[in-house]
Structure 1
Amino acid sequence: MSHVGVIGIGNMGNHMARNLLKNGHELSVYDLSETVLHKLKSHSSKVTVCKNPREVAEQSEVVLTMLPNNDIVLDTYLRDDGVLKGATKGKILVDSSTTAPSVSKKVFEHANKNNVEFIDAPVSGGVIGAENQTLTFMVGGAESTMKRVEKVLLSMGKRAVHCGDVGSGQAAKICNNMLLAISMIGTSECLNLGIKLGLNPKTLTDIINTSTGRCWSSDSYNPVPNMLPNVPSSNDYKGGFSTDLVLKDLGLAQDAATDTHSTIFLGALSHQIYSTLSNNGFGNKDFAYVYQFLKGNK
């Protein structure tokens, strides 16, 4: 499957598209931003810019979507010039956005009526993982469909895990991102406390990362500026995983918890904390900015 369509050329989608190109795929792409489309086009002659999602699907064997929220995903697939209007039997649709499981199930129902295969395959690893081709894909849908596109997925990541039926990839991603938000807040609180107690942040980080407190937020995405290169905290919290996006994912977790009668005390508190950040004008900052907020930089 050499021709891949990519819809959504944002912080994640751009790196994923570039890795597809690096691994020999031709691309048909669509995004609302003409700037990012033409920048990608200038990067390789193997890129075709399309005027709508339908055109992407018509030209591609596999269509990958990486979009911000439920409504945009549904619109992209179901509208009159959407993906499903251009997808025909034999093509495979892969949604790597993070949405409610019900969204994946709805798209699957429409795709199934057209004899088109669909899987949800949200990712873990963030922008750094997208850039370095180390993403993990959490896949919901037929395992046979996943096997057919596994080489495409591994052109953008290092691992694809089959989680179960359609929607189960999204379920896994919601749980993962809730834990990520909780751990980022916890890491930020502890580092802030240690620094105020007089500890050198690098010394404390080194101790945490060789002790029981170690986590991805401390060793790979540290929220304190200049602890790590090439992470948003060392670039004024630009890029990466925005506060508004983590807030959206925590909202999905809240909805899922309500639907399943699950208790998520820390998940709910994390949702309130990131809602406060967003309401104070930090929605576009990387979610590690919670460290600065806890320091009192408001």
Structure 2
Amino acid sequence: MEHSVAFIGLGAMGYRMAAHLPSTFKDVRVWNRSFEKAEAHSAQYGTRAVSLQDALQADFIFSCLPTSKEVESIIYSNNIKTGAIWIDCTSGVPESAKNLARYLEEKNVAFLDAPVSGQTIGAENATLTFMIGGQREAFDRAQAPIQCMGKLIQYVGESGAGFTVKAVNNTLLAAHLWAAAESFSLLKQQGVNLEAALACINASSGKSGVTENILAQRILNQSFPKTFALALLAKDTGIATDLAREQRLPIPMLALTQQFMQAAHVSDQDNSDFSAAVKLYEYMSNIKLEQ
């Protein structure tokens, strides 16, 4: 039996992710609020630009939207195919995932919270990491379409678990980013060659994803290419800290990181890349992070 797949939300990630589906599925439907983007995707990749109602009648429904609110708005106000599996790649709120899973279960629809990591290059190359929460049986049935887009596909627990892992991951990214900004400003102030120092650190215990993949490519050359919005990073750190506060966990470092990300987002231009958060520290220190 041929299954149909729909992809809702053709932003920077979704546009590239959906491009891999026609290699495995004949019936791939795409919808975007700006419908001309869906039409462009159809022309470029052989998908089918459809109405939202047609997209919601697919067997597998992917969504990749800015926040859980947009996903809730669609699900709560439309009819979805009975027996479908909804795979939400939004970096969403865990409590929302739990509520949507319960709501859809009553309609015989499974919901997986399935955020991704790997940025636009990972979406382009189908090497994304999927961290997935929800029913294990639905996870097993959804393997084929997810594998079109991902390299590591990990089941992490019940509904909400995927969103929780993504929020924690991005909060760690933010903490590493801010710590790198402080540390490399100190190195520059001391007259150290930053590229040489970076090579040493990346062969030592101080390395992180930021030092290996972000500093040289985005910050030390002051390019800050837009791939993942600073506003979304600030949102994700907020999700993590809200969860911790609900559980009354002491989180002095995470809370401070979230405050820095929120301040950086508010102080910088709209649609800035997440790496541009270091501009706030450049302003605070009066040291520009470039070699």
If the length of structure 2 is used for normalisation, what is the TM-score?
0.90
The letter of the residue matching 1:48 is: R
The corresponding residue for 1:247 is 234
SS in 2 for 1:5: strand
The letter for the 2-side match of 1:55 is: D
Paired letter, 2:143: E
Which residue pairs with 2:56 in the alignment? 57
Letter in 1 for 2:4: H
Structure 1 equivalent of residue 244 of structure 2: 257
The residue type paired with residue 126 of structure 2 is Q
State the shift of 1:17 in Å: 0.8
Partner amino acid, structure 2, of 1:146? F
CA contact (8 A) 1:233 1:289 kept: no
Residue pair 1:192, 1:291 contacting (<8 A) in 2 also: no
- Contact kept, 8 Å, 2:177 with 2:275, in 1: the verdict is yes
Q: Structure 1 residues 11, 234: closer, same or farther in 2, change over 3 A? A: farther
Structure 1 unaligned segments of length 5 or more: list them.
Answer: none
1:77 aligns with 2:70: no
Q: Which TM-score applies when normalising by structure 1?
A: 0.88
Shift of 1:35: 3.8
Q: Does the alignment pair 1:294 with 2:287?
A: no
Change (3 A) 1:19 1:190: farther
Q: Cα offset for 1:16?
A: 0.7
Matching residue's letter, 2:186 = L
Output the aligned Cα RMSD. 2.1
The 5 Å alignment of 1:100-139 reads 100-139=93-132
Partner of 2:182: 189
C-alpha distance in 2 between matches for 1:291 and 1:253: 21
Cα gap change, 1:234 to 1:158, in 2 (>3 Å): farther
Per-residue CA deviations over 1:118-171 (Å, capped at 9, x if unaligned) read: 211111222222222221111111212111111211110111111111111111
1:255-289: CA deviations, max 9, x gaps? 10111111221211111112112222334111111
AA of the residue aligned to 1:258? R
Sort the Cα spacing of 1:70 and 1:234 in 2 relative to 1 into closer, same or farther, 3 A. Answer: farther
Identity %: 27
211, 218, 221: which one aligns with 2:204: 211
Q: Which residues of structure 2 form unaligned runs of 5+?
A: none
